[in-house]
Chain A
Amino acid sequence: MTNALSKLLETRDWLLADGATGTNLFNMGLMSGDAPEMWNIDETSKITALYKGAVDAGSDVFLTNSFGANASRLRLHGAESRVHELNKAAAEIARDVADAAGRPVVVAGSVGPTGEIMSPMGTLTHERAVEMFHEQAEGLKAGGADVLWVETISAAEEFKAAAEAFALADMPWCGTMSFDTAGRTMMGHTSADMVKLVGKITHQPLAFGANCGVGASDLLRTVLGMAAAGSTLPLIAKGNAGIPKYHDGHIHYDGTPELMADYAVLARACGATIIGGCCGTTPEHLRAMRDALETRPVGDTPTLEQITEALGGFSSESDGTDGAGPAAAPRRGRRRKA
């Protein structure tokens, strides 16, 4: 493999990814309800500043401002015909920032969920999902992204569709899911399920893991679950900087840089190789994380108790991997058709 991320992974024990996109763009004046991707064309200096914020704080990998740049989501803003343009622009600005960094920095083309439910439960077909992801992937590739990075996914079908699209675009990729519902994804997948899912994918990712979700504690429990399930690929941890609070007209996540520094070191001890933040993570947080990863020793794998002591409690008692989850209501026991 000759891509930039694989090369970095060969020479380093850990990599620092980036932090938030939405939170940081808000701080630059993005209005709620507007599509952040429009700024890839209309406010390029702000997008440069967003990327530089992460790179200057020490990120080895950062994601492009293209999370919502698929046809399904851009339709809201009447911009479904601009998928290629907006993704290409997101990657081009990123390419310039990465190339000017003076050290190897990887541009990861962010691909978010379509927001639709896939068939048979919903209306989005596998073919259409692959088509939309492929369209986005080609735009990011054309703009110079080193790898593609699908994130915040909750359905296995959607993850598979993205992988298939990335194979069509002939691009290396990473993927993360969001475990925000009792330690599982919204669709009910556990961390162990994701390891199995990734194992079955033909076009293997370079790394996979978890992003967003609830708080930093939950995210680390998910990473522990993935490591325990015997994954051989590098794991990704991109947790939120605490939980969102509303102060004087804007959103503020309550996780401090100190807490995220502890989180970063613990994430590495849990088995994560690519460590970053998600919502609420500013360059200030990233700097503290970088400093901690460079100066603190690699610890032993923490217990769940040690994680909660350092970062706070979990959102649910079980994450579905320990067989100790809540029990279903008693049933009459009856035939199932089908």
Chain B
Amino acid sequence: MSDEEDDIILSELSDEDLVAQMFDDLYDGLKEEIEEAVNILIERGWEPYRVLTEALVGGMTIVGHDFRDGILFVPEVLLAANAMKGGMAILKPLLIATGAPRVGKMVIGTVKGDIHDIGKNLVSMMMEGAGFEVVDLGINNAVENYLEAIETEEPDILGMSALLTTTMPYMKVVIDTMVEKGIRDDYIVLVGGAPLNEEFGKAIGADAYCRDAAVAVETAKTFVARKHNQGAGAA
């Protein structure tokens, strides 16, 4: 209703109301409002890491759930992610300066022969929205690209995407090469793309298939937590 367009002054809201408002603004993809709100919280003395987790990650989680449930679709999620990126751009240098904890790191790319990167980009953005560091290799990646990137970047997770019947098997080529080199188990391998399914992911030797970007984030968190626990146990 246009009558309800009573303009809200973000700086006049309490912390609690402001964060709730940010959830709505992320949902609506309002980039400028998110940037303004992030700055307000920082000015009020919030730790950058708290702004990230409570406001941005919190808001993107709602977006992710509604995407997973078929309420929001790609255009809305792209807008939300764009707004989130606006906030992240402000937070990133502050997070580094304050030595904030890192959730995990992911190298991601669409496989050789495949141009499709819409889903992959969504995963990138949602992972960043969840506090992960993401190195995006783009489209059309041969096995060498992946190997080089995981060696230089030392990520926790390798993500691969394919959208065509003709390119899905290439993910197995990459995983097989990792096995040959004896490095497969050093990484969590997640795969995604419209034609894939859980069983396919298992059959080619991935750790998990992620149906969409929201599921990718949840799966990544679970696996990274498990990996850290194992690491702690072994130490």
User: Which A positions have Cβ atoms within 8 angstroms of B?
Assistant: 20, 22-23, 25-26, 30, 32-36, 68, 72-73, 75-77, 115-117, 121-122, 154, 180-184, 186-188, 243-247, 249-251, 279-280, 316, 318, 320, 325-329, 331-337
**Are A76 and B166 in contact, CB atoms less than 8 angstroms apart?**
no
Cα-based distance from A167 to B30 in the complex (angstroms): 38
Q: List 10 A-B contacts (CB under 8 A).
A: A26-B166, A36-B166, A77-B113, A115-B117, A181-B70, A188-B72, A245-B199, A246-B199, A332-B24, A335-B5
Cα-based distance from A250 to B169 in the complex (angstroms): 7
**Are A33 and B111 in contact, CB atoms less than 8 angstroms apart?**
yes
Q: How far is the CB of A112 from chain B (nearest CB, A)?
A: 9
Q: How far is the CB of B179 from chain A (nearest CB, A)?
A: 14
Given contacts A73-B115, A121-B78, A334 and B170 within 8 Å (CB-CB): no
**Are A246 and B172 in contact, CB atoms less than 8 angstroms apart?**
yes
Cα-based distance from A325 to B6 in the complex (angstroms): 30
Cα-based distance from A46 to B106 in the complex (angstroms): 40
**Are A246 and B24 in contact, CB atoms less than 8 angstroms apart?**
no
Q: How far is the CB of A322 from chain B (nearest CB, A)?
A: 13
Which residues of chain A are near B200, meaning CB under 8 Å?
Answer: 244-246
A243 nearest CB neighbor, chain B only: B197
Q: Number of B interface residues, CB 8 Å?
A: 52
**Are B70 and A333 in contact, CB atoms less than 8 angstroms apart?**
no
Cα-based distance from A337 to B29 in the complex (angstroms): 11
Interface digits, B1-31 against A, CB 8 Å rule (1 contact, 0 not)? Answer: 0001111100000000000110010011010
Given contacts A32-B113, A32-B170, A251-B168, A186 and B5 within 8 Å (CB-CB): no
**Are A335 and B70 in contact, CB atoms less than 8 angstroms apart?**
no
**Are B196 and A244 in contact, CB atoms less than 8 angstroms apart?**
yes
Cα-based distance from A115 to B196 in the complex (angstroms): 18
Given contacts A76-B139, A186-B74, A334-B8, A329 and B165 within 8 Å (CB-CB): no
Which residues of chain A are near B4, meaning CB under 8 Å?
Answer: 333-335
Q: How far is the CB of B4 from chain A (nearest CB, A)?
A: 6
Cα-based distance from A318 to B172 in the complex (angstroms): 34
Given contacts A22-B164, A30-B166, A335 and B66 within 8 Å (CB-CB): no
Knowing that A30-B166, A32-B173, A36-B166 are A-B contacts, what are 14 other residue pairs whose CB atoms are under 8 Å apart, sorted by A's residue number?
A20-B165, A23-B165, A32-B168, A33-B114, A33-B166, A34-B166, A249-B169, A279-B165, A280-B165, A320-B70, A328-B66, A328-B72, A334-B8, A334-B21
Cα-based distance from A207 to B119 in the complex (angstroms): 29
**Are A326 and B73 in contact, CB atoms less than 8 angstroms apart?**
no
**Are A327 and B73 in contact, CB atoms less than 8 angstroms apart?**
no
**Are A22 and B27 in contact, CB atoms less than 8 angstroms apart?**
no
Cα-based distance from A68 to B165 in the complex (angstroms): 12
Given contacts A184-B70, A244-B197, A326-B70, A33 and B167 within 8 Å (CB-CB): yes
Which residue of the partner chain, among B118, B140, B196, B204, contacts A117 with CB atoms under 8 Å? B118
User: Which residues in window 56-105 of B have CB below 8 A to A?
Assistant: 62, 65-66, 69-76, 78-79
Which residues of chain A are near B184, meaning CB under 8 Å?
Answer: none
Cα-based distance from A243 to B198 in the complex (angstroms): 11
User: Which residues in window 161-194 of B have CB below 8 A to A?
Assistant: 164-170, 172-173, 194
Which residue of the partner chain, among B69, B79, B168, B173, contacts A244 with CB atoms under 8 Å? B168
